[in-house]
Amino acid sequence: MFFDMLAIYISIVISYLIRVYLDPYFSSQVSDTYTYYTAESIFYIATVITLISSGIYKHRHDFWEESYLVLKSLFFALVLVLSVFALTKSIGSYSRVIILLSFIIMGLVIPIVKFILKSKLSLFGLWNTYALVKSLDSNIIDSIFENKYLGYIKGTDKNSKIIFMDTIGMDRTEAESNLLKLSNQKKEIIFIPMLNSFNFSNAKIIEIFNARANMIVLNNSLLDKRNIIIKKFIDMILSTLLIPLLVPIFAIIIFKMKKQEPRGSIFFKQTRMGKDGKEFVCYKFRSMFENSDEILKDYLKNNPEEVKSYEKYHKYINDPRISKVGSFLRRTSLDELPQIINVFRGEMSLIGPRPYMINEKEKIASKLGMVLAVHPGITGLWQVSGRNDVDFHSRVDMDVYYTRNWNLWLDFVILIKTIKTVLIREGAS
């Protein structure tokens, strides 16, 4: 809480300096010093109160989840501050630009300060707490204990006050028995639901008192017409803005490709499945040699293990068809840039499920309807969760999870993670 208030102070100072720098562009100049704003207690009180109400100081959250809660809290804090100033008729004494900027900058500074603080405290063991995980899924165990932001470290039955219980694979009787037993032994029980393809963080829980039961209300946000319109609007605006900016990059790539293969084609075109199964031509920069089929045929004869790799991952370990320029384009994901044309044409989205090939229908099987319920994306959840290290069925599961649990914040997180993945070239090939 102390460091959050420090972050608030820093944000107000930065906002003040920005407003002073922009003085020439405003009709009136800022006459007060920055201390006039940093000394105003309502900024700290409103922000801390809303952070408390969101459970920031009570529960441990993942970085992205906590950042979302911080942004949500800041919105209500801003409304609260403006309301107080309006009711006390003192709004005219403050620069509304500084007030608005302060809360916008807090949305960046508070998460950064929290990340640095928890990372440093973890090094000295001051943020860590012992926890026990009862699960057969190594991915769940690794996700909990490798996340320094959560601060959980492996403990034993004796020194752990917190226990994670994975109910996946248990029947109702076994799950209830285990929870009942552990509730008498542990301060906090965190159990992972059997339905792991649904995000319950935004679910509405309704108590039925007479039945001593709960109802969990889940909404598929991406199938809501209003959200479809919002997502499509964002796609159109961003693709319209990005296309002119990408022209110089396109020109450089085309020049390099023509230099390597003067007679080769620029684009690789392939028919993919779009929303509701509607087929469309998906564009990519060609990353393979023109005679790629002949090269692959000869290569597979001498490397039969590659056939098994393709069956599992739908990728070859060492693809001989990829050119030198193509290898660079794939490592940096630049080969997918022409798909911005598909977005502009309304055939794809910036973020969404993978655009699957026609011959992959049978492998997707019963999940096909959910995957094709929305427009495919240039990037998506599986691309930032291991990318080519993830097998085909896991990719489908991630796309189903995305479709079921979509929200604008999820798209934002995927976008940030995509930039990170591309910059460090993680998992690309």
3 state SS of 133: strand
> Is residue 75 located within the same domain as residue 167?
no
> Is residue 165 located within the same domain as residue 107?
no
Can you tell me the mean pLDDT for 403-411? 88
> Is residue 383 located within the same domain as residue 338?
yes
CA–CA separation, 296 and 298 (whole Å): 5
Q: How far apart are the first and last CA of the chain?
A: 44
Look at the chain and report how many structural domains it folds into.
Answer: 3
What CATH number did the domain enclosing 158 receive? Answer: 3.40.50
- The pLDDT, as a whole number, for residue 425 is 62
Which sign does the torsion angle of CA 392, 398, 400, 403 carry?
negative
Binned at pLDDT 50, 70 and 90, residue 368 comes out as: very high
Residue 427 pLDDT > 60, yes or no?
A: no
Does residue 165 form part of some domain? yes
CA–CA separation, 382 and 391 (whole Å): 10
Does residue 22 form part of some domain? yes
* 46-55, 241-250, 344-353, 388-397, range with the lowest pLDDT: 388-397
Binned at pLDDT 50, 70 and 90, residue 282 comes out as: very high
> Is residue 146 located within the same domain as residue 244?
no
Neighbours of 414 (CB within 10 A): 23
- The pLDDT, as a whole number, for residue 429 is 47
Does residue 306 form part of some domain? no
Instruction: Report helix angle 96-123 to 63-87, nearest 10.
Output: 150
- Name the nearest CA neighbour of 50 among 78, 9, 8, 27: 78
> Is residue 139 located within the same domain as residue 167?
yes
Tokens of 15: 């906002």
Residue 174 pLDDT > 50, yes or no?
A: yes
What range defines the domain where residue 176 resides? 129-196
Q: Please name the residues in contact with 311: beta carbons below 8 A apart, sequence gap of 6 or more.
A: none
pTM above 0.85, yes or no: no
Does residue 358 form part of some domain? yes
Domain end residue (candidates: 90, 107, 123): 123
Domain end residue (candidates: 179, 196, 213): 196
Does residue 269 form part of some domain? yes
Does residue 176 form part of some domain? yes
Tokens of 139: 């991915």
